[in-house]
C-alpha cells in the first residue's frame, strides 16, 4: 500500500514539475518582452519587478517540489527493500 502511495505521489510530482517548467519558460518570455518595453518606456519597472518576483517564487516552488520528490523516492526505496 505504501509503495502504491509513493508511486502515486511521484506521478503527481512529475506532472507538477512539467507545469512549473512550462510556467518558468513563460516567465522568461514575458521578462524578455518586458525588458524591451521598459527600455522603450512602454512598461513600468514595477511591472517588470512584479513578474521577476513571481518567477523567483516559482523557481523556489520548483526547488522545493524537487526536494520533496527526492524524499518520496527515498521512502519508496525504504519500503521496497
Cell 518595453 identifies what position?
Answer: 37
**Strand segments (E) across the chain:** none
Q: Using 50, 70 and 90 to split pLDDT, how confident is the model at 81? A: confident
C-alpha 65/C-alpha 12 separation (Å) is 10
pLDDT digits (tens, 9 = 90+) for 45-55: 999 999 999 99
Structure-block grid coordinates of residue 31? 521578462
pTM of model > 0.75: yes
Q: Calculate what percentage of the chain has a pLDDT beyond 70.
A: 100
Amino acid at each position: 500500500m505504501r509503495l502504491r502511495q509513493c508511486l502515486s505521489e511521484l506521478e503527481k510530482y512529475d506532472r507538477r514539475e512539467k507545469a512549473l517548467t512550462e510556467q518558468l519558460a513563460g516567465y522568461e518570455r514575458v521578462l524578455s518582452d518586458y525588458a524591451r518595453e521598459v527600455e522603450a518606456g512602454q512598461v513600468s519597472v514595477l511591472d517588470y519587478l512584479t513578474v521577476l518576483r513571481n518567477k523567483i517564487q516559482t523557481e523556489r516552488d520548483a526547488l522545493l517540489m524537487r526536494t520533496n520528490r527526492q524524499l518520496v523516492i527515498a521512502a519508496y526505496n525504504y519500503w521496497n527493500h
